[in-house]
């Protein structure tokens, strides 16, 4: 039976009991508005752990002033139904004022990683991600935590912080889940109208183009990026935020593609900013 926990003292008590009984904990941190991408993480967590925790917390610190914190979809009851049918044990839905009391003052900053790719147009975003994930890890004490490859830069930041701060949590990154036409699932896809949904396919088309060029032996990043731009600029509602081919650990742009490099992009479709990536 799915149990919802909202207070920090309740989650601490629950975790303490599980740890005393030497049960392993799988953890999927989310902002809710769950889709098959989240559920793929949950299913993997079910396979690999005694207990599965999912957090639903729309973290104010990771939204910029002009971003969509207020509009972000909130469908808690529906999310709980989904998680219940997946056999999740605990939903942790913390109270914002308890997560960030008035005198809260600690920043966690992934230097060098935070100002690249999405960080350029979302200043402060990855600090917000870093601090909330660190807090959630300290509260839930998971053995394994699961994240989607779709939020590529987030996965790099989290792995870096876990390593730098010597946290005892195994981070697993699972593949991006796409709809039948290739659109990466995202809670923000709910913002798209029918025309925009079709135009949004250009993100994946451009990534497929990049992969096929690499498969054909083209290694020069500039050449690949140029062709990707063409694919995206064919869509009238699309406006490129960035396209970049980067080292998967440092996020530094690479001039020539090597196996394991990641091509990542953010594109605005109308007012909606979408991201996607593939590992080359």
CB-wise, 2 or 109, nearer to a copy of itself? 109
Buried b / exposed e over 196-218, threshold 16 CB at 10 Å, is beebbbbbbbbbebbeebbeeee
Q: Do residues 255 and 276 touch, judged by C-beta distance below 8 A?
A: no
Give the footprint of a copy of itself on residues 168-187 (CB under 8 A): 168
In the complex, what is the shortest distance from the CB of residue 39 to a copy of itself, in angstroms, rounded to a whole number? 27
DSSP annotation of 60 reads G
Q: Cβ–Cβ contacts within 10 Å for residue 115, how many?
A: 12
Identify the residue among 107, 170, 193, 233 touching a copy of itself (CB under 8 A): 107
CB-wise, 8 or 208, nearer to a copy of itself? 8
Q: Do residues 264 and 184 touch, judged by C-beta distance below 8 A?
A: no
* Cα–Cα separations (whole angstroms), residue 200 to 34, 36, 122, 139, 194: 20, 18, 20, 37, 10
CB-wise, 37 or 110, nearer to a copy of itself? 110
Identify the residue among 32, 110, 142, 148 touching a copy of itself (CB under 8 A): 110
Burial of 153 from C-beta contacts in 10 A (0-12 / 13-18 / 19+): buried
Residue 111 in the binding site for a copy of itself (CB under 8 A):
yes
User: Quick check: helix, strand or coil at residue 225?
Assistant: helix
Burial of 23 from C-beta contacts in 10 A (0-12 / 13-18 / 19+): middle
Q: Known catalytic residue: 112?
A: no
Identify the residue among 3, 85, 95, 104 touching a copy of itself (CB under 8 A): 104
Per-position x/- string for 250-269, each x denoting binding to a copy of itself as judged by CB under 8 A, each - no binding = x-------------------
What is the rounded distance in angstroms from the CA atom of residue 127 to the CA atom of residue 82?
Answer: 30
Per-position x/- string for 134-163, each x denoting binding to a copy of itself as judged by CB under 8 A, each - no binding = xx--xx--------------------xx--
In the complex, what is the shortest distance from the CB of residue 243 to a copy of itself, in angstroms, rounded to a whole number? 24
Residue 249 in the binding site for a copy of itself (CB under 8 A):
yes
CB-wise, 8 or 75, nearer to a copy of itself? 8
What is the rounded distance in angstroms from the CA atom of residue 212 to the CA atom of residue 227?
Answer: 11
Which backbone phi and psi does 212 adopt, to 5 degrees?
-70, -35
Residue 106 in the binding site for a copy of itself (CB under 8 A):
yes
| Number of residues that this document lists for the chain | 280
Residue 17 in the binding site for a copy of itself (CB under 8 A):
no
- The catalytically annotated residue of 35, 38, 112, 125 is 38
In the complex, what is the shortest distance from the CB of residue 167 to a copy of itself, in angstroms, rounded to a whole number? 6
Which residues are identified as catalytic? 38
Binding residues (CB under 8 A) for a copy of itself: these are: 8, 12, 103-113, 130-131, 134-135, 138-139, 160-161, 164-168, 249-250
């Amino acid at each position: 039976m799915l149990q919802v926990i909202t207070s920090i003292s309740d989650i601490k008590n629950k975790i303490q009991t599980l740890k005393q009984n030497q049960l392993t904990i799988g953890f999927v941190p989310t902002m809710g508005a769950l889709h098959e991408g989240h559920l793929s993480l949950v299913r993997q967590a079910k396979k690999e752990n005694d207990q599965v925790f999912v957090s639903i917390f729309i973290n104010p610190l990771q939204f910029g002033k002009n971003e969509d914190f207020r509009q972000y979809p909130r469908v808690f009851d529906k999310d709980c139904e989904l998680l219940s049918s997946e056999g999740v044990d605990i939903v942790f839905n913390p109270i914002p004022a308890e997560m960030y009391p008035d005198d809260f003052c600690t920043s966690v900053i992934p230097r060098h990683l935070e100002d690249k790719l999405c960080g350029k147009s979302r200043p402060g975003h990855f600090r917000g991600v870093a601090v909330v994930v660190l807090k959630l890890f300290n509260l839930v004490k998971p053995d394994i935590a699961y994240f989607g490859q779709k939020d590529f830069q987030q996965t790099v930041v989290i792995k870096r912080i876990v390593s730098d701060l010597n946290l005892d949590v195994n981070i697993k990154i699972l593949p991006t889940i796409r709809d039948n036409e290739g659109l990466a699932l995202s809670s923000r896809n709910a913002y798209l109208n029918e025309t925009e949904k079709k135009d949004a396919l250009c993100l994946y088309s451009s990534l497929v183009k990049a992969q096929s060029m690499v498969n054909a032996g083209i290694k020069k990043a500039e050449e690949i990026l140029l062709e990707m731009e063409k694919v995206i600029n064919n869509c009238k509602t699309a406006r490129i935020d960035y396209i970049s081919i980067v080292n998967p650990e440092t996020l530094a742009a690479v001039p020539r593609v090597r196996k394991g490099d990641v091509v990542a992009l953010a594109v605005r479709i109308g007012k909606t900013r979408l991201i996607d990536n593939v590992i080359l």
